[in-house]
Structure 1
Amino acid sequence: MLGKKYSLINLLVFFLIWRAFLFIPLYFGQIALAYRQHQEYTNLWYYTKPYPPVNHFFLYPLANFDGVHYLNIAGNGYNDNGRFLPLYPFLIRLTSQIFGQGEAFGWQLFFAGVFLSHLFLVLSLIVFYKLVRLDFSPQISFWSGVFLLLFPTAFFFTAIYSESLFLFLSLLSFYLARKKHWFGASICGMLLTVTRLPGISIFFALLIELFTQKKEKSLKIIYLFFIPLGILSYAWYNWKKWADPLYFIHAHAQLGNSRAVTNLVFIPQTLYRYAKMLLSVPTNQFEWWTAFLEVTFFFIVVLLLFEAWRKKIRLAYIVFSLLCFLLPAFSGTFSGLPRYAIILFPIFIALALFKSSKIKIALVLVFSFLSFLLLMFFSRGYFIA
């Protein structure tokens, strides 16, 4: 009976409830906030005239910020936006063909992007549940999925962002590795490297997983060398198009968020920068709250990754998450970190392992409130992550 309560089916039912909940902050954002001034370029209607049904406030915010860039790439190909890796926009373009050839920012590409994000999130929940079940009870698997959905920035999984695809490929890669299907795990890893830059971390994580399983030399290590082929192919494309094989890294400098692209910035330096910002920027400016959110998430992720290690969650998972976390953290800014955290799946297992039901209920309430607040502001052109 207890197993049925914490079944995968019930987790998917919870997903439907959670997804319905996300409409509420979109509604309140529409009636309470004007779209942020001077941020119109983050909105779909900066690039095309509003059209139904996408012009409904339940829909068009799903393409805010990075979403418009993915739609642009899917419709027009690359221009100067090479920092967005190709797999997700390629899948958007491919899927949109079901509805007929559409133009950039048209409804075909929009709904293809929304469909893919939701599809990969559902698939992620299924694989995540099964992956956690290899080591833990149905209860821990269920709560891991719940905390993944309720995390304050998990709404990005439903937007036209590559996070749900990245999460799915990383989880599937680990699941196949745990089942000793190393070729499939490596192919997923290769695709991961052309989804988001931290995807290359899967190579080192699977290497650890292989030696954890084998304890001796194995020819299956050869499969792992498929993984870098993804990002190397994209580097070749960058060289042919922009005469710079690392353009996809260097292009991040265009964002103007002080992200270093040619050198590492050590974390104490970044923390010092944030301390200066928090002490000098007035608290009535939204940028102060953005900086506060970013540095707070930094410390929360550090604590949760430590907790995951302390709870002896599988080493390969922690190494993968640590590398995905440190890669952007060593760039001199924590900008985007609240969003990057949602693919660090061991932190959700660590939260699920809390034994106190009071702590879990408190986390559910706090996470739900923060999700409401952050999505409401995101939908109105305020940068969250």
Structure 2
Amino acid sequence: MSTETESLPTQRPRTGRRRKFRAPSDRWSFPILMFAVHWVIAQVPATIAFVFGSTRPPLDPPFETGASWAYSMPLGPMTGLAHYLVEPMRHWDGTWYRLVATTGYDSTGISFPAKAAFWPLYPWLIKFFSGITTISPESVGYIISNVAFAFALVLLYQLVSMDLSVDVSRRTLWAIALFPTAFFFTAVYTESLFLLLTVGCLLAARRGNWWIAGIIGLLAALTRSAGVMLLAPMGILFLQQYGADIRRWFPSIFPAALPALGPLIFGWHLTTAGLQFFDWINVQWQWNRFRATPWETFQCATVGCEAVIPNVGTDQARGVDWSWVGELAGSPTWSTITSPGFRDGFARGDWLELIVTVGAFVLVLLGIRRIPLYYFALVLPPLIVPLFGPSSVHPLMSMPRFVLPMFPLFVVIALFVTNRKAGITLATLSAIGMAILTMQFANWYWVS
């Protein structure tokens, strides 16, 4: 695991030795090109599936219905262009962010404490921009996500080029933009905004702009619970720049610690809405989450386990289910792959969660001594912490989505996939996977 970032002066750093970009326009043109490629591969299949496909029928209400659990009923159809672009991408958590944006965290009426699981910056932005325009909350969320992802790719290109090389940064963008679950960057979810703030924070810290880094880090800590974990990579960069002499830490140590305020601000805000300070933790039982050790979580994910869920009781967690593979092998027909039963088995088998989680840890091991130390610190905490709170519904719930802002994982892929033919093959397969999962999502099948 490399600890090198760049030559750091003894005083407050600004710039240092950097690898040159191929051309000034390349900083923008290539990331925007990758955004366009990503958007087409994510949006077109979603729209086609939404318009011509069938919405998954209710199976196990209230947790697994095709309707929004946030509203306990289907949302009304959108009109105009939003019906084709936004509506396929607003499902699942998107309905929760709409609910928070329109009703706040008040615990009365339709607004119940489960909303505390959704951190505030994204719905606050949705509420603000929807309020000053005539655009619907879902459409505002869609625009925020897509604009944020485009700028995130621009900043990520700069950061990886600075730390490694332009070639690695280009391959990194290919890897992250075409990852099978990368359609969440286009959906009404927080992945794009969180990636933008994460990269922006670390790029500013890398350049020694600690007030900018701290403010952006605080915004990240108001976007996702994992935002406070930016303190780990920021701390490493801080020590590399200022050393162990505490006298040199001031005043930059103050902005460097700003992400720690994120949970405090959110907790305080919940109390103003009649909820409890730690309800962002306490409400996790509503997603059937329970306490476990990481090895117990993997046991639940592979062979199943009995779970004791607060306020619910005992439940049985299913292990990974590969039965859809046998079904497809026995009848590899169009009617099979489009049938609700097959699509639901494909969605609920937990195989994607297991593969992505194990694959992420493999990439971490492969990246030792090949990526900067602060990259490693960025990935490890948010990769491990969810393993202490599995769900009996999906033991590794949301892990294929949680890894998306962990850009160092995609840097490791870029470091190892250097052969052009191999890269094209993997990119093609990954893009096909993203198209398939996007169509599942557009028809209300579970993805992550």
Given the two structures, how large is their TM-score scaled by the length of structure 1? 0.90
1:22 and 2:50 matched: no
Q: 2:421 aligns with which of 358, 364, 377?
A: 358
- C-alpha spacing 1:281/1:15, structure 2 compared with 1 (3 Å): closer
1:58 and 2:76 matched: no
Paired residue for 1:137?
165
Paired residue for 2:66?
40
1:352 & 1:64 partners in 2: Cα distance?
A: 31
| Matching of residues 314-329 of structure 1 within 5 Å | 314-329=372-387
Q: 1:308 aligns with which of 347, 367, 392?
A: 367
Paired residue for 1:83?
117
Q: 1:161 aligns with which of 174, 189, 202?
A: 189
How far residue 118 of structure 1 moved from its aligned partner, in angstroms, is 0.8
Q: Kindly indicate whether the alpha-carbon contact (under 8 Å) linking 1:27 and 1:57 is maintained by their aligned counterparts in 2.
A: yes
**Deviating more after overlay: 346-355 vs 29-38:** 29-38
Deviations 1:229-272 (Å, cap 9, x if unpaired)? 1210111222343452110111121123xx22xx4x22211111
SS at match of 2:163: coil
Q: Kindly indicate whether the alpha-carbon contact (under 8 Å) linking 2:35 and 2:149 is maintained by their aligned counterparts in 1.
A: no
How far residue 198 of structure 1 moved from its aligned partner, in angstroms, is 0.9
Give 1 or 2: higher helix fraction. Answer: 1
Q: Kindly indicate whether the alpha-carbon contact (under 8 Å) linking 2:190 and 2:223 is maintained by their aligned counterparts in 1.
A: yes
1:250 and 2:282 matched: yes
Paired residue for 2:232?
204
Paired residue for 1:343?
405
Q: Kindly indicate whether the alpha-carbon contact (under 8 Å) linking 1:7 and 1:138 is maintained by their aligned counterparts in 2.
A: no
SS at match of 1:49: coil
1:250 & 1:323 partners in 2: Cα distance?
A: 20
SS at match of 1:343: coil
- Structure showing greater radius of gyration is 2
Unaligned stretches of 5+ residues in structure 2 = 1-20, 59-64, 106-110, 304-317, 325-341
Amino acid at match of 1:3: R
Q: Kindly indicate whether the alpha-carbon contact (under 8 Å) linking 2:89 and 2:188 is maintained by their aligned counterparts in 1.
A: yes
Q: 2:126 aligns with which of 92, 100, 119?
A: 92
Paired residue for 2:434?
371
Q: 2:267 aligns with which of 220, 229, 235?
A: 235
2:429 & 2:187 partners in 1: Cα distance?
A: 22
- C-alpha spacing 1:7/1:31, structure 2 compared with 1 (3 Å): same
Deviations 1:305-327 (Å, cap 9, x if unpaired)? 2222241x111121121111112
SS at match of 2:132: helix
2:57 & 2:40 partners in 1: Cα distance?
A: 29
How far residue 53 of structure 1 moved from its aligned partner, in angstroms, is 1.6
How far residue 228 of structure 1 moved from its aligned partner, in angstroms, is 1.4
Paired residue for 2:11?
none
RMSD: 2.4
Paired residue for 2:62?
none
- C-alpha spacing 1:77/1:288, structure 2 compared with 1 (3 Å): closer
1:3 and 2:22 matched: yes
1:108 and 2:136 matched: yes
Identity %, equivalent residues: 25
| Matching of residues 266-277 of structure 1 within 5 Å | 266-276=293-303, 277=318
Q: Kindly indicate whether the alpha-carbon contact (under 8 Å) linking 2:34 and 2:173 is maintained by their aligned counterparts in 1.
A: no
Amino acid at match of 1:366: L
Q: Kindly indicate whether the alpha-carbon contact (under 8 Å) linking 2:201 and 2:214 is maintained by their aligned counterparts in 1.
A: yes
- C-alpha spacing 1:99/1:319, structure 2 compared with 1 (3 Å): same
- C-alpha spacing 1:297/1:252, structure 2 compared with 1 (3 Å): same
1:180 & 1:29 partners in 2: Cα distance?
A: 46
Paired residue for 2:155?
127
1:175 and 2:203 matched: yes
Q: Kindly indicate whether the alpha-carbon contact (under 8 Å) linking 1:151 and 1:371 is maintained by their aligned counterparts in 2.
A: yes
- C-alpha spacing 1:342/1:279, structure 2 compared with 1 (3 Å): closer
Amino acid at match of 2:287: L
2:72 & 2:167 partners in 1: Cα distance?
A: 44
How far residue 96 of structure 1 moved from its aligned partner, in angstroms, is 1.4
1:280 & 1:98 partners in 2: Cα distance?
A: 47
2:348 & 2:26 partners in 1: Cα distance?
A: 37
Paired residue for 1:331?
389
2:389 & 2:147 partners in 1: Cα distance?
A: 31
1:11 & 1:135 partners in 2: Cα distance?
A: 17
Q: Kindly indicate whether the alpha-carbon contact (under 8 Å) linking 1:173 and 1:189 is maintained by their aligned counterparts in 2.
A: yes
Q: 2:76 aligns with which of 49, 54, 68?
A: 49
Q: 1:187 aligns with which of 215, 226, 240?
A: 215
How far residue 54 of structure 1 moved from its aligned partner, in angstroms, is 5.7
2:232 & 2:103 partners in 1: Cα distance?
A: 35
How far residue 141 of structure 1 moved from its aligned partner, in angstroms, is 1.4
Q: Name the count of aligned residue pairs.
A: 373
